[in-house]
Structure 1
Amino acid sequence: MNKEPLWTKDFISVSASNFFLFVAFYFLLVTMPIYAIQELGGSPAQAGLLTTFFLISAIIVRPFAGQWIEQFGKRAVLISSQVIFLGASLLYFFPDTLNMMLAIRFIHGIGFGMATTATGAMVAEIIPGSRRGEGMGYYVMSTNLAMVIGPFLGLTVMREWGSLVMFTMCIVISGLALIAGLLVNLVESKNNVRVMSIFQVKFNPRDLFEFSALPIAVVGAFFSIAYSSILSFVSVYAEEIQVGEVASYFFIVYAVVLLLSRPFTGRWFDQYGANVIVYPAIFLFAAGLLLLSQAETALIFLVTAGMIGVGWGTLFPSFQTIAIQEAAPQKKALATATFLSVFDFGIGLGSFIIGWAVTGISFRTLYAYCAIYVIVGLFVYLMLHGKQEKKKRQMI
């Protein structure tokens, strides 16, 4: 039997648009804490707030973005959100205080939240149903590749050429995201809506959230709190243990190992179900964090990148695929928005908690605690989805 086509023009275009969005996101995510501390005179906790404010606005706008998608269509929401994202990127040159930068990060997060909701809804429609796990795995790989290229570019550009070139690069990357978005030609039914209806949003919880996606979204948010310690502070930790010269390569190793594992993990998800993939990934994620807490050389530091790459890099697309699969066809856009909103809440909360925690404990202790925390997450997954998944597989 011939497989349904996966690598279509629209799939490649929406994945490319998502890739550039996340390159810009991670580009700034790893550099803004350094910029805030070194050039704006902020503390580590205040530096963490730059991530928190960005993600708070993304979280707030996503439920409404799901409704706007139903009203105006996925492509219209994607393009308008990418214009906002690009416009916010132009503003980074101007702030000279932390409060001004927080305001810009909030605006930037609105564009990001809308755009990632739209791309997630688009790809859920584009991917053939029989290849959902595989397709979502490759789509999320665009995020994972951005997680490598963004930090590498950001740290390299900031170290070699400074913040002005860094912000210029962010504008270029945001422009590429918009161009890729314009290439998506998704056929959608036309709704007769007025422009003012953008403000006529529904505040009923069932219109704002897809409740079938909440359990796995909570699981994702739980793990994302631990992962935020990597996103926000692994480069700072590398400087502390005197391996700062290889800090940007952490995410390259992460990506290489992830790319090697992705062709297998996506297919295994489709064939054997989520549990076969999720439980080993949790243990590998925890082991990577524990080893990171003990790292003293560049080699060990980079080995942990590979372990975390396979561990977390497998968990995230698996959770997002589950959220989409659990929702009715007409609710997949809202399920995507719900999952990403709750997930980003975990990242934002984690960035603040981690920034606050490192004022009282060392990074080594922090990463050791995060390893224990991830193991606890195994039981969170078991209770919220793992048991149901096991019963479902037994009925097949």
Structure 2
Amino acid sequence: MNRVLGSKLWTKSFMAVSMCSFFIYLNVYMLSTAIPLYVKDALHGSEQQMGLAITLWSIGVVALRLLSGRWMDRYSLNMLSVWSIAVFLLGSSLYFGAAGIGFLLVVRMLHGGSFAVASTSTSTLAMRIIPDERKGEGISYFSLFMSVSMVLGPACGIYLWDKFEKGTVLFVVSAIVSGLALLCLLLVPSSKGVITSFKTHKRGKPAWRELVEPKVLPISLAGFMLSFSYSSLTSFISSYTEELNQAGMAGWFFIVFALIMMLSRLLVGRVYDRWGAGCIVYPGVCFFAIGMLALSVERSSMVLLLSAAVLGLGHGVLFPVFQTIAVEGISRKRRGIATSTFLLLFDIGFGAGSFVLGWIAAGAGYRTMFSIAGMTVLLSAAIYFWMVRPLAVSNPKPEEEIQSIQ
């Protein structure tokens, strides 16, 4: 695809919103690895309470994700982003006062809800900044910043928890990181053309179409299947490596996974813009399924790392492609809702996968669980072939052009 004038990607605004997203996800990944340890060691909580701290975070994310798209398309996108990250900063700061498990659980819900709005609004803001003719490339680079946080976040969280007692330094650093996210966002100029129209029911309640974009449900369902399968890695790899008497391999697994995912996202956008989604989706699904099946049949450390690389390649190409498909063919005023719809089903898939696959692991073992996770992700390819691909042909791109914020 030939580049045209005005198609500059690496603008100050794009860099600022990408760094903002990096700091948001760095905060989340730092705390996601350390909070269960904080509940167990500092608050002397049970395993059920450790799980509840994760569950309530997810409930906050899903509840606010559902509303975030409607808010973005009703109010100023920049203003909503600033306020949501400000609340995200507040949530990070409140961990200092979490001396009891009850208060911590409330903070987790607040933090998760603010993350849902902040991550959705910054992703939508990035899509408005990225030129349409470089949409695939731009989204893959934007998601690359999230991938870097996946490498640094868990390692930083575990290091700060192990190095300093009671999590005080960890919470200080997480609050500083949230503040940096807010600072980066303030460098992005306010976008014009704020949507003010808003359909409601007769009783003043928003129509369901103002909460969910029906056009992106098929690709969101494919994302649900990917997230369902992916949850088995983040939730159970540490326990699986302990079962194999290779506890030290869990960290290396995620490092290899994240590094390969980062490298794949450097290339996937250009491939998408030139050859389309089909040549990426099918190989990506196959890579992810093969990686899962490799985990289920082999126990050596070398195979663990090889499977991490294959899984990182699969996830690295699939997530940005699915997210790009979700906003293609969607009008400017509906892209916020489209983004929140896709991320909502992705979040639900992650939560459902953690529960269902955990239940399977408890009853049938990790090998069976990873086998089922590998077969589940194959449904993403089937959904793409039967439900998404036909829509891409029948639904042309919207006529209006989206102005880039330079």
**Aligned match of 2:403:** none
Q: Alpha carbon RMSD of aligned pairs, Å?
A: 2.6
- 1:280 pairs, out of 269, 278, 283, with 283
- Whichever residue aligns with residue 177 of structure 1, its letter is A
- Relative to structure 1, the CA distance from residue 2 to residue 201 in structure 2 (aligned partners, 3 Å threshold; closer, same or farther) is same
Q: List gaps (5 residues or longer) in structure 2.
A: 198-202, 397-406
**Aligned match of 1:173:** 177
- 1:146 pairs, out of 133, 146, 149, with 149
Measure the CA separation in 2 of the matches of 1:190 and 1:319. Answer: 26
- 1:122 pairs, out of 117, 122, 125, with 125
Q: Deviations over 1:120-161 (max 9, x none)?
A: 111111000101111111111112222221112122322333
- Relative to structure 1, the CA distance from residue 71 to residue 377 in structure 2 (aligned partners, 3 Å threshold; closer, same or farther) is closer
- 2:188 pairs, out of 184, 187, 190, with 184
Measure the CA separation in 1 of the matches of 2:131 and 2:362. Answer: 48
Mean Cα displacement is larger for which, 84-93 or 154-163?
154-163
1:235 aligns with 2:238: yes
Measure the CA separation in 2 of the matches of 1:48 and 1:377. Answer: 28
Mean Cα displacement is larger for which, 244-253 or 167-176?
244-253
- 2:161 pairs, out of 158, 162, 174, with 158
- 1:21 pairs, out of 14, 19, 24, with 24
Q: Matched residue pairs, number?
A: 386
**Aligned match of 1:197:** none
Write 1 or 2 for the structure with the bigger share of helix: 1
Tell me if structure 2 keeps the 8 A contact 1:19–1:146: yes
Tell me if structure 2 keeps the 8 A contact 1:64–1:201: no
Measure the CA separation in 2 of the matches of 1:106 and 1:388. Answer: 36
**Aligned match of 2:330:** 327
Report the alpha carbon displacement of residue 2 of structure 1 after superposing the two structures with TM.
4.5
- Whichever residue aligns with residue 116 of structure 1, its letter is S
Measure the CA separation in 2 of the matches of 1:323 and 1:201. Answer: 29
- Relative to structure 1, the CA distance from residue 98 to residue 353 in structure 2 (aligned partners, 3 Å threshold; closer, same or farther) is farther
Measure the CA separation in 1 of the matches of 2:28 and 2:309. Answer: 22
- 1:113 pairs, out of 88, 92, 116, with 116
**TM-score calculated relative to the size of structure 1:** 0.89
Tell me if structure 2 keeps the 8 A contact 1:52–1:349: no
- Relative to structure 1, the CA distance from residue 323 to residue 179 in structure 2 (aligned partners, 3 Å threshold; closer, same or farther) is same
- Whichever residue aligns with residue 183 of structure 1, its letter is L
Q: Deviations over 1:258-279 (max 9, x none)?
A: 2332233211111221111011
Measure the CA separation in 2 of the matches of 1:315 and 1:160. Answer: 36
Tell me if structure 2 keeps the 8 A contact 1:53–1:348: no
- 2:138 pairs, out of 135, 140, 147, with 135
Report the alpha carbon displacement of residue 97 of structure 1 after superposing the two structures with TM.
4.8
Report the alpha carbon displacement of residue 74 of structure 1 after superposing the two structures with TM.
1.1
- 2:348 pairs, out of 345, 360, 367, with 345
- 2:53 pairs, out of 47, 50, 53, with 50
> Secondary structure at the residue paired with 1:244?
coil
Measure the CA separation in 2 of the matches of 1:49 and 1:326. Answer: 39
Q: List gaps (5 residues or longer) in structure 1.
A: 194-199
- Whichever residue aligns with residue 253 of structure 2, its letter is F
Mean Cα displacement is larger for which, 284-293 or 377-386?
377-386
Tell me the percent identity.
35
- Relative to structure 1, the CA distance from residue 293 to residue 157 in structure 2 (aligned partners, 3 Å threshold; closer, same or farther) is farther
1:263 aligns with 2:237: no
- Relative to structure 1, the CA distance from residue 50 to residue 353 in structure 2 (aligned partners, 3 Å threshold; closer, same or farther) is farther
- Whichever residue aligns with residue 103 of structure 1, its letter is V
1:11 aligns with 2:14: yes
- Relative to structure 1, the CA distance from residue 48 to residue 277 in structure 2 (aligned partners, 3 Å threshold; closer, same or farther) is farther
Report the alpha carbon displacement of residue 391 of structure 1 after superposing the two structures with TM.
7.7
Measure the CA separation in 1 of the matches of 2:164 and 2:238. Answer: 18
Report the alpha carbon displacement of residue 301 of structure 1 after superposing the two structures with TM.
2.0
Q: How does 1:292-307 map to 2 (within 5 A)?
A: 292-307=295-310
Mean Cα displacement is larger for which, 89-98 or 277-286?
89-98
Q: Deviations over 1:347-395 (max 9, x none)?
A: 12222334444433432332222112222433233222144447889xx
- Whichever residue aligns with residue 281 of structure 2, its letter is V
Report the alpha carbon displacement of residue 114 of structure 1 after superposing the two structures with TM.
0.9
**TM-score calculated relative to the size of structure 2:** 0.87
Mean Cα displacement is larger for which, 204-213 or 168-177?
168-177
Measure the CA separation in 2 of the matches of 1:84 and 1:97. Answer: 21
Measure the CA separation in 1 of the matches of 2:190 and 2:325. Answer: 23
- Whichever residue aligns with residue 214 of structure 1, its letter is L
Tell me if structure 2 keeps the 8 A contact 1:61–1:110: yes
Tell me if structure 2 keeps the 8 A contact 1:29–1:231: no
